[in-house]
Chain A
Amino acid sequence: MDRVLADPPELTSLYAGALAVSARAGLRRRQRPSALPLDRHRLDGLLAAPDEVEGFQRLMGRARGDFVPSGYVHILVFPVAVSVLSRPDFPLPLLGMIHLRNEIHHLRPIRLDERLAVTAWVENLTPHRSGSQVDVVVHVHSGPEMVWMGRSTYLAKGIHLTGTSDADVATAVAADASPAAEELPGCPTAEWSLGGDTGRRYAAVSGDYNPIHLSVLSARALGMKRPIAHGMYLASRMVAAAGPDESTPFKWTVEFRAPVLLPSRVLLSAEVDASSTAQWRGAEVVAWDPRRRRTHFSGRLERLTVDAGAK
């Protein structure tokens, strides 16, 4: 069943609500629901704000064009997705959830003045070796036509809904944390110098003021030593650096591994399958931490033929 939202939800108040919930949960153990809500949240008439797009593109190192960048669509629809995650009947805690993966089909260029209808829901609640994972699915329509669809996979660490014991969790987490030698590309093609304010700067353009990204203190409250970069900031920069020009439909996936603690120096290897941007066919990207030699994320981008993936 669709629940139609009248206005775009305010991310900050959703986070504040979630913070209050987690504080209360700390006091008394709440019975978690074991199934996902089936409702879809829908918001109509969403419109990109040109000055926000400008700020977003400036942060990505690109010029603002006539179309909405793929990463900005995510920003636009994100509050609707979060409104699903912050429902009382959603079984996992919103704050502290870790972004594992994203898959986005950008089916056709979206003009800045197109009114968009967004539908978001959750599905695929499955156990993960260190908790539970869930998919958030977002479909974006312009009129009857689907123009963008995204699937984000999140992990709630330490939340086991299927009855695994705490001991299992401990071993799973320990195994996960052991820094096995990872196979990394021999040579980078780019280097990102991410300042301590990277999270605040992305929050300013995205409205996503999740405290885990903002400051040392607020990140510590959520169990991180230092603030971490937004996954979608990294992913959007990857798309800006290795993606096609803004009029090319494409599909892209990103898998997040070790979080990028801020400030940080990140090396990237981007293999772009193109002799020039006009013949862009796709790209494979790996980003890693040169000091600890651990993968931060990997991504794959590929061109979509005109009617691929359309409903």
Chain B
Amino acid sequence: MNNLPTEPNSMSESNGMSESNRTAESDGTTESYRGGAKPRAAVVIGGNRIPFARSGGPYAYASNQDMLTAALDGLVARFGLQGERIGEVAAGAVLKHSRDFNLTREAVLGSALAADTPAYDLQQACATGLETVVGLSNKIKLGQIDSGIAGGADSASDAPVAVSEGLRRVLLDLSRARTTPQKLAALRNLRPADLKPNAPTTAEPRTGLSMGEHQAITTARWDISRQAQDELALASHTNMAAAYDRGFFDDLVTPFRGVSRDANLRADTSLEKLASLKPVFGRDLTAQATMTAGNSTPLTDGAAVVLLGSEDYARKHSLPMLANVVDAEAAAVDFVHGKEGLLMAPVYAMPRLLQRNNMTFADFDFFEIHEAFASTVLTSLAAWEDEDFCRTQLGLSGALGTVHRNKLNVNGSSLAAGHPFAATGARIVASLAKSLAEKGSGRGLISVCAAGGQGVVAILEAR
């Protein structure tokens, strides 16, 4: 597709960057992908997010666009991107107003980035953020863009509230009616109950079960204990509090509306406090209910973005290179008929990703498994350790392997930070890339489950 020594797209991509500069800085390796040749590297340069906050809290009146713009502007300030044209910005939101059809482009226009930076929206439930990283990394690897910003925002506070289906149909019929009798006929279909608005829910459209109830079924199936869940939740909070204390998030988080740390983080929580909470999910099951507000993520507001680039781009702009985006894999499961748990798709994606890259769990130093619920992480780990499951469901010859706890979510994850759906992927990618850069070697695995029975897993590698 692109056999020129320099990339056609790059000519106009970075403002003021001359063609000769570019050629001079390329170190003689083939940068762009030519059929058969190894594609060039896509590099995580850095990330930025606003602190996450529980819904209805400090960001109650901030919109997705407000938060995404703030996250972008923090990134721009951190890496000196004022007035720069970025190859492409990809982001999304799960709870999205219809007026936000161009959420990301609007956020770009409201940010300090150059107005000629293109952008697109993506939506894949909780995997939105990670999928934007995968998509833009691939474009960078193919030489279609030199730089990209991936991320997402979600507000459970400023959620869209829609009119009921009944009222919506009446209003649409009314707008099409021409004569007074037609208009009256349309209005006659209106029922009092239609005036009640519809707020978004976390219920799966095809089952009517909330995400928590779905996970409660999986939790019961895998017999995950209450104590194991509480211990994982505690580890998330203590790991994240420790990471804040040692300044790990200093160059990953920019304060927003008076908040400088994730507002959900409870540095002083304990197993006793977590054990005192009443179960909120799985109370209708015959198995004991184990999932509480403490070992489940709360509805959260927030935004996060990641700056990606080619090695060339990073060097030219004197930007750090934290880690390479190596590969990613998506999977989906049939949860509708109860054949598999709603949040189990990453379990299926993982062996496919590892096999393609000739790797095993032993090749990794960090595991970032998104904590939708503590039991989501624990069922994933249990499934990968279960010989029978790995044989019959994953088609492997034996268990996939064990994830050692000292490598798992070492700087805390969603139970501590909270989980603004579309923002979580970029939070994880930025944190993992920084961990790999600090270590100076090794690899990290990311696993993110998503509504609709989907999941995305990805590999990052230290440089």
Contacts and interface: CB of A to CB of B under 8 A. Distances in A.
B359 interface: no
A187 B284 CA distance: 8
Interface string A40-72: 000000000000000000100000000000000
Given A269-B338, A270-B337, A191 B193 contact: no
Q: Is the interface of B mostly helix, strand, loop or mixed?
A: loop
Given A187-B217, A190-B208, A195 B337 contact: no
A110 B453 CA distance: 34
A125 interface: no
A274 B165 CA distance: 32
Contacts of B262: none
B336 interface: yes
Contacts of B285: 186-187
Contacts of B337: 189, 270-272, 274
B417 to A, nearest CB: 29
A181 to B, nearest CB: 11
Contact of B220 (A186, A267, A271): A186
A55 to B, nearest CB: 10
A188 interface: yes
Contacts of B336: 189
A192 B208 contact: yes
A188 B218 CA distance: 11
Contacts of A192: 208
Contacts of B461: none
A290 interface: yes
Contact of A191 (B209, B286, B287): B209
B115 to A, nearest CB: 41
B338 A189 contact: yes
Nearest to A272: B337
A212 to B, nearest CB: 20
Interface string B92-129: 00000000000000000000000000000000000000
A189 B207 contact: yes
B286 to A, nearest CB: 5
B257 interface: no
Contacts of B217: 187-188
Given A269-B338, A271-B338, A188 B287 contact: no
A190 B287 contact: no
B258 to A, nearest CB: 38
A187 to B, nearest CB: 4
A190 B30 CA distance: 53
B446 to A, nearest CB: 29
Contact of B213 (A184, A191, A197, A271): A191
Interface in B56-74: none
A199 to B, nearest CB: 12
B287 A267 contact: no
Interface string B197-216: 00000010011111001000
B221 interface: yes
A236 B150 CA distance: 45
Interface residues of A, number: 19
A186 B208 contact: no
B193 to A, nearest CB: 5
Nearest to B192: A197
Contact of B284 (A195, A271, A290): A290
Interface string B321-363: 0000000000000001110000000000000000000000000
A189 B208 CA distance: 9
Contacts of A186: 220, 285-287
Interface in A172-197: 184, 186-193, 195, 197
A189 B284 CA distance: 12
Contact of A187 (B206, B210, B221): B221
Contacts of B193: 195, 197
Contact of B209 (A190, A195, A271, A272): A190
Name the residue among A190, A193, A274 with the largest chain B CB count within 10 angstroms. Answer: A190
Nearest to A58: B165
B220 A188 contact: no
B208 A270 contact: no
Interface in B149-200: 165, 191, 193
Contact of A267 (B206, B221, B284): B284
A80 B297 CA distance: 55
Contacts of A184: 286
A267 B284 CA distance: 9
Nearest to A189: B338
A192 B213 CA distance: 13
A53 to B, nearest CB: 16
Contact of B208 (A193, A197, A274): A193
Interface string A141-172: 00000000000000000000000000000000
A190 B165 CA distance: 22
Contacts of B207: 189-191
Contacts of A272: 337
Contacts of A197: 191, 193
A58 B217 CA distance: 29
A270 B286 contact: no
B344 to A, nearest CB: 14
Contacts of B191: 197
Interface in A279-311: 290
A269 B284 CA distance: 13
B305 to A, nearest CB: 36
Interface centre among B193, B207, B220 (most CB of A within 10 A): B207
24 contacts: A184-B286, A186-B286, A186-B287, A187-B220, A187-B285, A187-B338, A188-B209, A188-B217, A188-B284, A189-B209, A189-B336, A190-B208, A191-B203, A191-B207, A191-B209, A193-B208, A197-B193, A267-B284, A269-B338, A270-B337, A270-B338, A271-B337, A272-B337, A290-B284
Given A190-B208, A191-B209, A290-B284, 18 more contacts: A186-B220, A186-B286, A187-B285, A188-B209, A188-B217, A189-B207, A189-B209, A189-B336, A190-B206, A190-B207, A190-B209, A191-B208, A192-B208, A195-B193, A197-B193, A267-B284, A270-B338, A271-B337
Closest 3 CB pairs of A and B: A189-B338, A290-B284, A191-B208
